[in-house]
Structure 1
């Protein structure tokens, strides 16, 4: 390894977790679980590859939290039952055997559901359908249906489901949980002006729109204790609306990240099309820089950071403490080892994410370093 990338391999901490380097695997929808939401051996192979490849931590794909409205895809894993807990244990253990930490991303799909065997409706802050169309390679087709507006009881049930899932994640051996507040799923829908048309304490302004996120964080912290890592992922763009920006730009970002930073949260994970680019207009901060400046917590940056020069820029210029790789990790499950040894990084093959089930079989081909 050249001295140029040395700072990517310095030991870092998140709360009580010590991470060997700054490389983290980003959460990626894989739709390879059993039909009832149990994790399986195929998933174990998928996650263990990254641990063998030198990543300091792995954030799981989005895991649904209850047997109601939270599931977003067929073959999505859950943490809603005892069987789900038991199924995750060997995966987490396998990752730990290589010295890698593993964090469970807890997700409620909200209105952005493509398949849910538990219920025949979707719920959202308001009676609105997401923009865009469902993704065929994740099992959906056509426009998203119009969601039912959530009652206050629905909101409380969602908050409780996140807390119960966090307890289950802890029982399964995960090192922490990440609250999915990004990409157009339920919690992000509360921060999206056209999805949240409420006039009660959960709508009308940014402060109210953040209320459910605040309550989820506080409820999880209350049940898992102070030593268990709790993080959150935030974005502007969505699966169904990549171009969306927060109204108010950087001023809104300051309000959101300042509020989050004052809560019992251990890190903020931000994702954007380019993790080092201006996120709120020309001359503005990147999402990572805004999260760091206003939130004051460890920041994970995501968005085209597979090139080590870009990863270095995110750390040294944008204030990120860690870089999370998605497509870069799919192409090179051993990215940290390759960068350390000065080896070439392989180009991303789009089919590896458009057809995630088939990709698992091909991962061995990408692992030249054992």
Structure 2
């Protein structure tokens, strides 16, 4: 049988009516890190997706690195998220929460003057958007070995909080140059303890976090996002194919709901990415594979038909097309996204994109 975007699929505990996934999309519309009512409208508009993966959500105040991103560490946040999951479920949708710690991609302005934390004290190139405007990155503080169990506990508690907010599961964010990705790459991890050096050591915190989250949610309600070819946030590794092949082999043992791979994007290639072929990753990982990264409908249908992935996540197309599933089904024209409204703001460019029915 040829697999299409509209072919149903079981991802762990969930039965999805289609393979069109809403990718996690940071929109920065949660002042004081608390989800808002307009977010319930935004997500419920997109409930026909096979699965909605929420915007990246910091697991703790220490994990914050962007203004107005919603958290999952307080009861107020849990209650606010629960209104969003109810709105999605009322439209027969399914939603995972993405668990996030930005690591070094932050600034003291977010932490009362304290330094961001990272595997090693290596400053990323570039600037960060703080509550006080754009500022250069700073050199982060290397986490002490004895602090790492506390980070893992933060992931564990965040997973509990996500279930309390009635999410259908969680996605562990280990991509795009954030904390767990920083541990994996030797360009950002120069540790000499049990969390640095060998593949086994660099992957240790991700596998410990995965174990903790699986203990809370069950493997069938946990996904993981990786960006093996990514250079975003000044990331590099001397041998990404080797480290990520190791990681995927180890993650296969968990029997997770899915693995979510971000393909190499144009920007990654422009910045010298060592691109790992999707076929290599498919061979290393034994389980459901979601791919993401600039896919349109035709390219998505091709990757599914060839058996190189099991579902496809869409980002910018979901920003502008709340009824993306229906538009794909009818081969209807797509609304173009407005990049000027991607981050921050109000309903404009958020909940006001038209659907086919008006």
* Mapped pair 1:314 → 2:310: no
Instruction: Give the whole-Å Cα distance in 1 for the aligned partners of 2:177 and 2:307.
Output: 24
Instruction: Give the whole-Å Cα distance in 2 for the aligned partners of 1:61 and 1:337.
Output: 22
Map residues 70-149 of structure 1 onto 2, 5 A cutoff: 70-114=63-107, 116-117=110-111, 120-135=114-129, 140-149=133-142
Q: What residue number does 1:160 align with?
A: 153
Cα distance, 1:359 vs structure 2: 5.7
CA offsets, 1:80-116, max 9 Å, x none? Answer: 0111111111100111111211000000111101552
Instruction: Give the whole-Å Cα distance in 1 for the aligned partners of 2:113 and 2:54.
Output: 24
Q: Say whether the 8 Å CA contact 1:64–1:108 is kept in structure 2.
A: yes
Q: Say whether the 8 Å CA contact 1:218–1:264 is kept in structure 2.
A: no
Q: What residue number does 1:253 align with?
A: 244
Q: What residue number does 1:189 align with?
A: 182
Cα distance, 1:181 vs structure 2: 0.3
Cα distance, 1:262 vs structure 2: 1.8
Partner SS for 1:104: strand
Give 5+ residue unaligned stretches, structure 2: none
Q: What residue number does 1:24 align with?
A: 21
Cα distance, 1:274 vs structure 2: 4.3
What is the TM-score of this pair, normalised by structure 1?
0.88
Q: What residue number does 2:172 align with?
A: 179
User: Which sits farther off after the overlay, 210-219 or 188-197?
Assistant: 188-197
User: Which sits farther off after the overlay, 207-216 or 266-275?
Assistant: 266-275
Cα distance, 1:221 vs structure 2: 1.5
- Count of residues in correspondence between the two structures: 352
Instruction: Give the whole-Å Cα distance in 2 for the aligned partners of 1:262 and 1:280.
Output: 28
Distance 1:265 1:122, change over 3 A: same
Q: What residue number does 1:350 align with?
A: 339
Q: What residue number does 1:233 align with?
A: 225
Q: Say whether the 8 Å CA contact 2:171–2:225 is kept in structure 1.
A: yes
* Mapped pair 1:330 → 2:319: yes
* Mapped pair 1:64 → 2:58: yes
Instruction: Give the whole-Å Cα distance in 1 for the aligned partners of 2:168 and 2:317.
Output: 23
Q: Say whether the 8 Å CA contact 2:64–2:102 is kept in structure 1.
A: yes
Distance 1:256 1:337, change over 3 A: same
Q: Say whether the 8 Å CA contact 1:271–1:301 is kept in structure 2.
A: yes
User: Which sits farther off after the overlay, 54-63 or 113-122?
Assistant: 113-122
What is the TM-score of this pair, normalised by structure 2?
0.90
Q: Say whether the 8 Å CA contact 2:20–2:50 is kept in structure 1.
A: yes
CA offsets, 1:54-76, max 9 Å, x none? Answer: 21111011111123x11112211
* Mapped pair 1:263 → 2:263: no
Instruction: Give the whole-Å Cα distance in 1 for the aligned partners of 2:298 and 2:171.
Output: 27
CA offsets, 1:169-196, max 9 Å, x none? Answer: 0011000000110111100100122211
Instruction: Give the whole-Å Cα distance in 2 for the aligned partners of 1:123 and 1:297.
Output: 32
* Mapped pair 1:223 → 2:219: no
Q: Say whether the 8 Å CA contact 1:181–1:234 is kept in structure 2.
A: yes
Partner SS for 1:142: strand
RMSD over aligned CA atoms reads: 2.5
Q: What residue number does 1:292 align with?
A: 282
CA offsets, 1:184-243, max 9 Å, x none? Answer: 11001001222111011100122210000000011112233455x0111001425423xx
Instruction: Give the whole-Å Cα distance in 2 for the aligned partners of 1:239 and 1:221.
Output: 28
CA offsets, 1:140-171, max 9 Å, x none? Answer: 52321111110122211110000000001001
Q: Say whether the 8 Å CA contact 2:263–2:293 is kept in structure 1.
A: yes
User: Which sits farther off after the overlay, 266-275 or 57-66?
Assistant: 266-275
Partner SS for 1:134: strand
Partner SS for 1:88: helix
Q: Say whether the 8 Å CA contact 2:46–2:322 is kept in structure 1.
A: yes
